[in-house]
Structure 1
Amino acid sequence: MTVARSAALFVVAALFEIGGAWLVWQGVREHRGWLWIGAGVVALGVYGFVATLQPDADFGRVLAAYGGVFVAGSLAWGRVADGYRPDRFDLIGAAICLAGMAVIMYAPRRH
């Protein structure tokens, strides 16, 4: 599997996890109801499945690396969905997380 395909899987996973969490948040905190909550729970389940499609067999490595994508994706989602404006420290932190993700997931290893 190429790095590009693996990275794309991380993006898809982030869309389902962050989107699912956002739907639950909207359902509960913004009183949009059980339909939003249910859709969020389904999306979170799909996220769990998408994460299993990564080529690396080590759960801990995949989830640790995904954490960097989650951080950056959460800031992007907040910007698009809620008008949140990340400041430079948010952006620097997200860049650090993505660099960490790349090291954890894609550094050459001896097998």
Structure 2
Amino acid sequence: MALIKSLLYFLLAGFCEIGGGYLVWLWLREGKGIFVALIGWFLLILYGIIPTLQPANFGRVSNNA
């Protein structure tokens, strides 16, 4: 179950990274409204939070020596 949960968090983080970056790009380059930028920034913030929810230790340093 932890593997499936980790995979879903990984996919969700990828969606937030790509989607948030794209929405900010639309705001900057295509002149979309500030609402588009706010949603993009929110998704990028989520992208920073989601990896902390991972149940598996994918490359994280552990104190268990």
Shorter-chain TM-score: which interval? 0.7 to 0.9
Q: Deviations over 1:8-47 (max 9, x none)?
A: 1100111111110010011111110322111111110011
> Following the alignment from structure 2 to structure 1, what is the Cα–Cα distance between the partners of residues 15 and 37?
16
What is the CA–CA distance in structure 2 between the aligned matches of 1:51 and 1:3, rounded to whole Å? 14
> 1:1-111, aligned counterparts within 5 Å?
2-55=2-55, 56=57, 58=60
Question: Where has structure 1 moved over 3 Å in runs of 4 or more?
Answer: none
Higher relative contact order (CA 8 A, sep 6+): 2
TM-score of the aligned structures, taking structure 1 as reference length: 0.48
Unaligned runs of 5+ in 2: none
Sequence identity of aligned pairs in percent? 37
Match for 1:42: what amino acid?
F
The 2-side partners of 1:31 and 1:3 are apart by 41
Please tell me the root mean square deviation across aligned C-alpha atoms, in Å. Answer: 2.0
Gaps of 5+ in 1: 60-110
Number of equivalent positions: 60
